[in-house]
Amino acid sequence: MAHQNRYEALQIEAVSSGRKNAAVEMKWADLLYIDIPQELYDQLLLQKEACQNILEGKDRRIREFLTELRNKDEEYCPFSVVAFSTLVLTSFKPGR
């Protein structure tokens, strides 16, 4: 059952992310026609925020899977693999 939930969550994330990516890509073309520097700057900030939101969603999903991996490691191998997954969790830097 957990596998199905993960699969559904990934499908939802893929569709949502695809829509957000498409919106960001379409906006780039519009920015080419902005002549006022302050307006262009404001729109670029909005683009940056949209990109950060996309990355935050992906980082959140990665952290969820890494946490699930650590929990499974602890369940099946309480001493050997836990150190590795903890290292992975602590070295994960969002946005990279």
**pLDDT tens-digit readout, 25-53:** 999 999 999 999 999 999 999 999 999 99
Which residue has better confidence, 87 or 67? 67
Contacts of 68 (CB under 8 A, 6+ apart): 2, 6
Which residue has better confidence, 35 or 4? 35
Split at pLDDT 50, 70, 90, the class of 54 is very high
Within a 10 A sphere around the Cβ of 85, how many other Cβ atoms? 19
How far, in Å, CA of 63 to CA of 27, rounded?
29
Split at pLDDT 50, 70, 90, the class of 7 is confident
How far, in Å, CA of 41 to CA of 47, rounded?
10
State the helix-helix crossing angle for 37-76 and 82-91, rounded to 10 degrees: 170
**CA-angle at 23, arms to 92 and 52, nearest 5°:** 25
